[in-house]
Structure 1
């Protein structure tokens, strides 16, 4: 009885219920914010033309994904319309030349990645936060920062091999047996570490974002709850806190996002050409961007990133909080019936 009481007494819900609550937010976020991320990535990457065999990146609002696109093919969903002058121009040109569907390019396979990534991330965060606060009896203001960073490292580490496998399957049509052979060959050539290729730059961008986001979110949420004299955050409180903290984290970590885009493009080029050349170091990419475009080059795509991240964070966290409140209510009613 002690573990059960602790489980419901600390978080109010079980880990399984946390997982279910996070799924709805992941699906809703993916559908609504993917177009903004497609535009952001296209603006960041337009300095590197997409020739045949090069890659295109898109996101579900939570994590970036990469696929190799055979441009020049009449049936290819991506056809580069030229240079974009800004966010609105990119939106207009993509819709005009590629069709509105291109704003949701790759969404089905992205959803397959979004759900497990979100489940791991949000569940780990809540469990770590409860563990630090109640089991270790640490009540410092840095709990969200520590829990958020740790949860992101765990999510990225678990998802990276799945991401690599999915990327391979998108580069060309493969059966499950062929896909298994590709993975075995990659492991045989480069070892098991090859399944976590790109883990470093992903962590460099996502972990600081996660730490900054959760720290500001929990701080804003607690202050607003006190202001409105409520014990649990309302949808409005969660939405506004999520949007604001997401925007702050997005601005502060944008240079890492730009670097990661460059590195993933480079990774796609190497994969398409079957080259064993090593990827360029993060610091070198930053220096190259500053030399080419000045310091402002590290903040390319700021507007579409904010347009994506702020609503994505708001929708995700408010849906998650609503789901948790729903399950807490059910659990309380069950406890009352048992009593």
Structure 2
């Protein structure tokens, strides 16, 4: 079963090497998934033009972004001509606006997503190893509990920064104005206001994380056994990540719908200074959606969410695992060469 010290090790890699692996995964995920969502938003704006003050949620595979339309010339949602489809949209945007337009909004994502992802993955690895050591015969469930706890820690630490990120996304504020905005919120509603939205985020992200990591470890183990390999290849990690991400995305979709609705309502309140009448709790929002749109309302956006989440999870985890595998082999080779010759 091993010692406590070995249980707390980060899979044979140093914390710095794990951070590099995490950063590489976050960067690659953002670079690949961001253009897909930019194109999706342009096609959506073409079908239903966004009016001033309208909110929409943009997600590049790592984080949600709440955006508020101020005019028709914003790079996020302006239309360069009429798009005939996804491929035509890609080529038209590159031809008319330059290739960098496909990565609109990427910088604020990286500023927030990289630290959040480092915290999340580091916590998961530490907790999984520790729980595997403590649980012994029930170690199969260690990823489930480790995934849930790691997400709670990550969400709790990052939540106060969400207010800053949201404000800076749709309104050009100086750092002094941003500081005044935060001080005003704290003075009015207390320090707890910095964690506004924590509940709905946890209800969506914690079950997702628990299911994702449990299924990922089980699928990875099964694929390794099937292909007779002791360590997962890039393809095995990619496949396991895509499948487990899809399962978790479908299971937690109602919570995602609720969180999106509340984000949009809060964004429109900030844009118009009008307080929208909406239920206060997540469950009441769910009941309201169910009463208005039925069961299908809770699963709105089913296909787009799966199409987005599956590749994002696959790219992130396979890059992360590949990075750790690379450093693990490198560390073993260095240790071998550094050992004294008998």
What's the TM-score once normalised by structure 2's chain length? 0.84
Q: Distance in 2 between matches of 1:240 and 1:193?
A: 40
- Find the counterpart in structure 2 of residue 150 from structure 1: 149
Check conservation: 1:60, 1:111, Cα contact below 8 A.
no
Corresponding residue number in structure 1 for 2:298: 298
The separation in 1 between residues aligned to 2:5 and 2:338, in whole angstroms, is: 13
Aligned to 1:112: 111
Task: Work out which structure has the larger RCO, using CA pairs closer than 8 Å and 6 or more positions apart in sequence.
Answer: 1
Q: Shift of the alpha carbon at 1:269?
A: 1.3
CA contact (8 A) 2:133 2:139 kept: no
**Residue deviations 1:132-173, cap 9 Å, x none?**
112564642211110011111111111111121111122322
Distance 2:216 2:75 in 1: 41
Q: Please say if residues 278 and 285 of structure 2, whose CA atoms lie closer than 8 Å, have aligned partners that are also in contact.
A: no
| SS of equivalent to 2:154 | helix
Q: CA deviation at 1:332?
A: 0.9
Alpha carbons of structure 1 residues 184 and 14: separation in structure 2 relative to 1, 3 Å? same
CA-to-aligned-CA distance 1:46-72 (integer Å, 9 cap, x gap): 9x9954334332123022122333135
Give aligned pairs, total.
335
Residue number in structure 1 paired with 2:319: 319
Tell me how far apart the structure 2 counterparts of residues 96 and 137 of structure 1 sit (CA, whole Å).
58
Q: Distance in 2 between matches of 1:103 and 1:77?
A: 9
Change beyond 3 A, Cα 1:77–1:229: closer
Whole-angstrom CA distance in 2 between matches of 1:275 and 1:225: 55
Q: Which residue of 2 aligns with 1:127?
A: 126
Partner of 1:202: 201
Where in structure 2 are there 5+ consecutive unaligned residues?
none
Q: 1:77 to 1:232 in 2, by over 3 A?
A: closer
Whether the 8 Å contact between 2:4 and 2:133 is mirrored in structure 1 is no
- Whether the 8 Å contact between 2:8 and 2:129 is mirrored in structure 1 is no
Question: What is the RMSD of the two structures over their aligned residues, measured on CA atoms?
Answer: 3.6
Q: Is the 8 A contact 1:132 1:138 kept in 2?
A: no
Between the aligned partners of 1:180 and 1:5, the Cα distance in structure 2 is 43
Deviations 1:285-330 (Å, cap 9, x if unpaired)? 2233233333212222122211111111111110000000011112
Contact kept, 8 Å, 1:34 with 1:103, in 2: the verdict is yes
Match of 1:34 in 2: 34
Q: Give the superposition deviation at 1:94.
A: 9.6
